[in-house]
Amino acid sequence: MGLTNVVITIPSIVILILLSIAVSTRSIVTMGLIIGIISWPWTARAVRAQTSSLRTREHVDVARISGSGPFALIVREIIPYMLSYIVMAFVLQLSSGILQEAALSMLGLGPSRTISLGIMLHWALLWESVRTGAWWAFVPPTIFLTLIAFSLLSLQSSVDEIFNPRLRRN
Amino acid sequence: MQFLIYLRNLAQGDLGISFARAPARVQEMIAQALPWTIALQLPAIVIGWVLGNVLGALAAYKGGWLDRGAFSVSLFISSIPYYCLAILLLYTFAVHWPVFPPGGGYSYAMSPSWNWYFIQSALYHYWLPFLSLVLIFIGGQAVGMRAMAIYELDADYVRYSRGMGVSDNRIVAYIFRNAVLPQVTGWRLPSARSSVVRSSPRLSFVSGDRHLVVQRYPPERLPGCAGGHAVDHDLCLAGKLYCRCRLRLYRPENPGQRGWRTLRRTYGRCRTGTTALKTESIFWTDLRRMLAGAPTFNRRFLTSLGFLVVLVGFGFLGPLILDKQEPMRTVGGLFDAPSATNWLGTDNFGRDVFTQLMFGIRTSLIIGLIAGAVATLIGVFIGTAAGYSGASSKRR
């Protein structure tokens, strides 16, 4: 877990910038991989906290006593119990991945030879569309980025309410 | 290798020489910019924090339309990416209606000093970044505070006060005090957040050390960039460390993990029956319960799901249905205004913005999916392994 703590303290955008320079042609898949590899620690920490509380449950003990190995134990006894949490973490990672891609692309470090919302913003800002009042160049991508992020976040919070009765209001 | 040398120098407190302003040393530049950053960000953060938390506690306690409205609005605001918010604010209030200046920390005709005119000018230039920071902060804090305060509603002291006829404001104050702890620990300078906006020098927001960091294209400024980030990050860490110490003071039983809050939020509920042997996973029970339907959740869940489906459809099926399949084709001039053929005008290369938008959404979604999947897979793998084998036996 020491590694995770170290990775967490590294400001991710710096690594993203460094990596994006190091990799000369960036396909869409490479971008996704880079961002994913940078942003796993938060999930790891939360999952670790869950796991260490779940592993003290009785059903895990029972399974251990009946002789299942650690891998089977994790897959069959621990992960199903935090699946809802993992789904939520995935949705959050998805939205933050989209936003990180947009931020990178805005700096001109996005995937090459393709179009993404961030790249549209990049060109719009570079050609001073904000100052010249060409709103159609930068308002649509910003709005759609916001919409994507908002719908993902609200999906996450509604799922949170479903799985967590204490958050539910009547 | 170069990076190692850089690390060694960093350990000795030497951040190197800026590429952009060659003779200047990075630490001097940072030292110049640091007080500026703190002075500018702090008031916005304090105000945003207070407003956001009060709003969150109020929404949680009052419930009803206030809760729904405040929650959706703050969720929406907090989901606007900071650079998008900044661009929109900038366009609306500095270009479209030129109420505020578009950039700089103070008027170009002045130099920093302690006279009234300078302060006035600095304040005037401060409004826009101040607004964007406060807005973002209110949103984020309100969402977090609401979640924490809802947990407090069941507490004995709330019921007791209610039964005793204590006024609502007072109860909200009690709840606030009890729920505020995790909000305090989350308190730090919003670090890399406001950075990218300043990528265009002409339209820059007030400078912080960020101003040294990414101006147009970061690679040629890497020493400054990394240095600025390092200092910024140290600030965050110092803040966090301080908060964590305080947290330890308040809650000796606290495991000292950031996961604590998420943990409590998600798994804090008491799951009756899980201690007994269960063959069926809770997930499926929950899923079934969810499909059976609690009305409040269903609405919001379905709305956001509907939104997503529309967005995905727009990105993946839109080009086929509307027969706009060539995002890279030049169809007009520089920034042509919206017209019947180009529904959202053209961009700087004369390409159709509407077509680009559909393909852009597609690319963004694909990248997000890959990133999310990779991060979740690695995170779950390492997290379970560490949690299963690690220090937890000590803790229990």
Q: How confident is the model over B350-360, as a mean pLDDT?
A: 84
pLDDT for B371? 93
Beta-carbon contacts of A28 under 8 Å, excluding residues fewer than 6 positions away, are: A111, A114, B363, B366, B367, B370
B103-107, B139-143, B361-365: range with highest mean pLDDT: B361-365
Closest CA to B57 of B180, B156, B182, B162: B180
Judged by DSSP in three states, B25 sits in: strand
Per-residue pLDDT of B58-77, as tens digits, reads 888 887 788 888 888 888 88
Q: Give residue B186's pLDDT band: very low, low, confident or very high (50, 70, 90).
A: low
B31-35, B124-128, B279-283: range with highest mean pLDDT: B124-128
Q: Identify whether the C-beta of residue B52 lies closer than 8 Å to the C-beta of residue B142.
A: yes
pLDDT at B206 over 50: no
Rg (CA), chain B: 25
pLDDT for A166? 67
Closest CA to B176 of B140, B159, B157, B152: B152
Judged by DSSP in three states, B111 sits in: coil
pLDDT for A168? 64
pLDDT for B236? 47
Among the residue ranges A157-166, B175-184, B187-196, the one predicted with the least confidence is B187-196
Q: How confident is the model over A114-136, as a mean pLDDT?
A: 81
Number of A/B CB contacts below 8 angstroms equals: 408
pLDDT for B90? 80
Q: Identify whether the C-beta of residue B331 lies closer than 8 Å to the C-beta of residue B342.
A: yes
Q: How confident is the model over B148-165, as a mean pLDDT?
A: 82
Q: Best residue in B279, B363, B389 to probe A by mutation, most A CBs within 10 Å? A: B363
The string over B85-94, giving b where at least 16 C-beta atoms fall within 10 Å of a residue's C-beta and e elsewhere, is bbbbbbbebb
B375/A43 CB distance under 8 A:
yes
Q: What are the distances in angstroms from CA A96 to CA A67, A108, B103, B271?
A: 40, 18, 28, 30
d(CA A83, CA A47): 10
Terminal Cα distance for chain B, rounded: 43
Q: Give residue B292's pLDDT band: very low, low, confident or very high (50, 70, 90).
A: low
- Return residues 89-118 of A near B (CB < 8 Å): 89-91, 93-95, 97-103, 106-109, 111, 114-118
Per-residue pLDDT of B41-57, as tens digits, reads 778 888 888 898 888 88
pLDDT for B350? 74
Interface check for A14 against chain B (CB to CB < 8 A): the answer is yes
ipTM: 0.89
pLDDT for B374? 94
With 0.90 as the threshold, say if the pTM is over it: no
Closest CA to B372 of A93, A105, A2: A93
pLDDT for B377? 93
Q: Identify whether the C-beta of residue A104 lies closer than 8 Å to the C-beta of residue B349.
A: no
More confident residue, B225 or B352: B352
